[in-house]
C-alpha cells in the first residue's frame, strides 16, 4: 500500500540518496526525434482523450534567435511527457529538460533531457552551465520546473528556487537577451470518461542586457506570474470558458460513448416531437 504522506518529499532525490552521478548531456538526433514522437504521443493518446492548448502565439511570435525558457509547475509523472508534446508538437523545437537521476532513465536523453545533481548548489552548476550553452541553439528551448521538486496539484503559494533567475542573468550576459514563457497545465475530466490535457501559454516576458536584473525580485515576480496564470486557467475551466483553445489531438469516442451520444440524440428528438 502506498503511504500518501511520502508522495511529496521536500528533499530532491539526488540529495536524499546522497549519490554522485556523472553529468549526462542530451543526445538528440533526427532518428530519435521520430522515435520520441511515436512513443510519447502514443503514450498520451493511450491515456488522454484530448490535448488542448491556447496562447501559443506568445511563443511563436518571438524572434527565431531569441533564447527561450519555458517554466511550469510540476505535480505529476506526466509533466515531462507533456513538455515533450508542447516542444515537438506545438513549438516545433527540441526540448531541453533537467532530470534528476537520469542514469536510471537513459533513453530520456534522446528526448532532450540532461542530468542535474541537486546534492548541493555546487553539484548543480554543471547542469546550469550546460543549459546556458544550449540556450544559444535556435533549434531548442529550455523547459523548467523552478519549484525544484514535485508539488501537489494546485499547490499554493507557488515559490521558486533560485535557479531560474540565475539562468536568466547568465543567459542575458552571454547572449544579450532571453524570452520567458510561463506555462499552465491541467489534467481534467470533462464530459468524457478519459481525462484531457489543457495547456495555456502566458504572456512572453523579454529581458535584455540593459535591463537591471535583481535575482531575488525576478524570482518572486516570475513565481507570482505563473501562479496568476495557473489560477486564471483554473477559473476559466471551472466556469466553462474554453474560448481560444486549439486541439493538438482528440481521440475518437469509444463505441459505448458513441452509443450513448446516439441515444441522447434520439431522446432529444423524441422530446422535441
Q: What is the pLDDT of residues 172-217, one digit of tens each?
A: 999 999 999 999 999 999 988 899 999 999 999 999 999 999 999 9
pLDDT for residue 6: 74
d(CA 267, CA 257): 15
CA 233/CA 18 separation, integer angstroms: 38
Percent of all residues in the chain with a pLDDT value above 90, rounded to a whole number:
77
pLDDT, residue 15, reads 75
- Amino acid 62: pLDDT: 96
Q: What pLDDT is stored for residue 20 in this prediction? A: 74
For residue 22, the model assigns a pLDDT of: 85
Q: Long-range contact list for 118-125, CB < 8 A, 24+ apart?
A: 118/12, 118/13, 118/14, 118/15, 118/148, 119/14, 119/15, 119/18, 119/19, 119/20, 120/15, 123/14, 123/20, 124/163
Residues of the chain where predicted confidence (pLDDT) is lower than 70: 1-2, 254-258, 260-261, 264, 266-273
User: For position 271, what pLDDT does the model report?
Assistant: 40
Contacts of residue 47, defined as CB under 8 A and 6 or more positions apart, other chains included, come to 78, 194, 195
Radius of gyration of the chain (CA): 20
| pTM as predicted | 0.90
Query: Tens digit of pLDDT for each residue in 236-254?
Result: 999 999 999 999 999 987 6
Q: What angle do CA 227, 223, 217 make, to 5 degrees?
A: 145
Amino acid at each position: 500500500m502506498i503511504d500518501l504522506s511520502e508522495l511529496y518529499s521536500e528533499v530532491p532525490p539526488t540529495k536524499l540518496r546522497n549519490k554522485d552521478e556523472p553529468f549526462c548531456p542530451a543526445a538528440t538526433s533526427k532518428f530519435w526525434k521520430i522515435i520520441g514522437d511515436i512513443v510519447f504521443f502514443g503514450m498520451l493518446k493511450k491515456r488522454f482523450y484530448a490535448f488542448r492548448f491556447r496562447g501559443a502565439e506568445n511563443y511563436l511570435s518571438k524572434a527565431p534567435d531569441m533564447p527561450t525558457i519555458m517554466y511550469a509547475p510540476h505535480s505529476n509523472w506526466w509533466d515531462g511527457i507533456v513538455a515533450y508534446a508542447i516542444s515537438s508538437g506545438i513549438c516545433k523545437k527540441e526540448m531541453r529538460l533537467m532530470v534528476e537521476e537520469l542514469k536510471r532513465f537513459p533513453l530520456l536523453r534522446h528526448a532532450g533531457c540532461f542530468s542535474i545533481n541537486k546534492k548541493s548548489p555546487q553539484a548543480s552548476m554543471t547542469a546550469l552551465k550546460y543549459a546556458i550553452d544550449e540556450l544559444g541553439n535556435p533549434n531548442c528551448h529550455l523547459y523548467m520546473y523552478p519549484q525544484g521538486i514535485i508539488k501537489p496539484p494546485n499547490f499554493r503559494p507557488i515559490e521558486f528556487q533560485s535557479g531560474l533567475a540565475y539562468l536568466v542573468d547568465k543567459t542575458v550576459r552571454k547572449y544579450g537577451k532571453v524570452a520567458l514563457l510561463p506555462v499552465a497545465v491541467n489534467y481534467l475530466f470533462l464530459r468524457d470518461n478519459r481525462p484531457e490535457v489543457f495547456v495555456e501559454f502566458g504572456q512572453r516576458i523579454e529581458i535584455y542586457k540593459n535591463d537591471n536584473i535583481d535575482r531575488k525580485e525576478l524570482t518572486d515576480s516570475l513565481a507570482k506570474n505563473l501562479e496568476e496564470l495557473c489560477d486564471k486557467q483554473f477559473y476559466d475551466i471551472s466556469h466553462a470558458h474554453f474560448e481560444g483553445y486549439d486541439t493538438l489531438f482528440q481521440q475518437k469516442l469509444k463505441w459505448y460513448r458513441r452509443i450513448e451520444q446516439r441515444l441522447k440524440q434520439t431522446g432529444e428528438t423524441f422530446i422535441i416531437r
